[in-house]
Amino acid sequence: MFPIILGLSCIKSIGPFLRHHVLESISIAEFLFVTSVLIMLISFMYAYVHRRESFSKLFRLSHTQYSAIVVISTATILSGFAIVKLEEMGILSSIFVLRAASSIFAILVGVFIFEETLTMYQSVGIILALLSAAFLIQQE
């Protein structure tokens, strides 16, 4: 499992460079629209090929669940705009700080809201993420 996670992390790390290349021809809004449509199409194709997914549950959600989906989608779009703007300004290291912060917040939400136990690997991960973010901020 570790080689898969490492490989995906390496592939994802070239994203800012590819995004910079694409954004020479189209605007940020167009880029986010195209990526969102592609993610949706790939998700539906995956669900269709594996036939394990049922979309009928989507129509039985409560109003608060639909509201939560809208809030999450809006936050995703706004963070996408923010990340691309940071890349345009040349603040590439801040993107890595944001990714470290999001991982730390995900663990903290799990611990404090969902009352999960904090494992040793998560503790070491938080410490390493904080150290790497500190080194990146200090280097600028």
Predicted pLDDT of residue 139? 61
Look at residue 64 in the predicted model and tell me its pLDDT: 92
- Each residue's pLDDT, cut to its tens digit, for the chain (140 residues) gives 677 777 777 777 777 777 777 778 888 778 888 888 888 888 888 877 777 766 777 788 899 989 988 998 888 888 777 777 776 776 656 666 777 777 788 888 888 888 888 889 888 888 888 887 777 766 65
Output the pLDDT for position 53: 65
Give me the pLDDT at residue 111, please: 85
Q: Give the residue extent of every domain in the chain.
A: 1-89, 91-140
Contact 76, 27 (CB under 8 A): no
* Residues 55, 43: Cα–Cα separation, whole Å: 12
Is the alpha carbon torsion for 100, 4, 73, 69 positive or negative? negative
Q: What is residue 118's predicted lDDT score, i.e. its pLDDT? A: 85
- Candidates 110, 109, 112, 82; CA nearest to 97 is 82
Neighbours of 103 (CB within 10 A): 14
